[in-house]
Amino acid sequence: MSNSAERPLPPDPAVKSERPAVRHRNPQTLLTSAAVITRARDELAALTGYKIDSVSGFERTDDGWRLVVTVVELCRIPASTDILATYEATLNEAGDLLNYHRGGRYLRCQTGEH
């Protein structure tokens, strides 16, 4: 019996894997502000199901990041009557979303403090 029949063949580099590659992130890697904002926007949109309208606040904290975003909770015609809400999110040093909560809701056409 041939020895090669007992050993599996090495993977063919021309054949692509069906499974997506698993990407591991080093938690010690420092992220740029833009990278943190992009990740947080994507995660908040996925979790809430709402479109992120804008980032209205961002700060580095002792143990991570704090982000304030404006979310479109209800699109209306005309757009000035859209229902918006302010969300505050807390992220760890690696930019992972730890928690979020909704603040006030208001119409897009409202001005001043909400």
CATH number at residue 56: 3.10.450
Q: Model-level pTM?
A: 0.67
Which residues constitute the domain of residue 39?
29-107
The answer to whether residue 14 sits within a structural domain is no
In this predicted structure, the answer to whether residue 50 has a pLDDT above a threshold of 50 is yes
Cα 45 to its chain centre, rounded Å, is 7
The answer to whether residue 3 sits within a structural domain is no
The answer to whether residue 48 sits within a structural domain is yes
- Under the banding of pLDDT at 50, 70 and 90, the label for residue 100 is very high
Over range 76-84, report the average pLDDT: 93
Yes or no: say if 39 and 16 are a contact pair by the CB < 8 Å rule.
Answer: no
Strand, helix or coil for residue 33: helix
The answer to whether residue 20 sits within a structural domain is no
Average pLDDT, the chain: 81
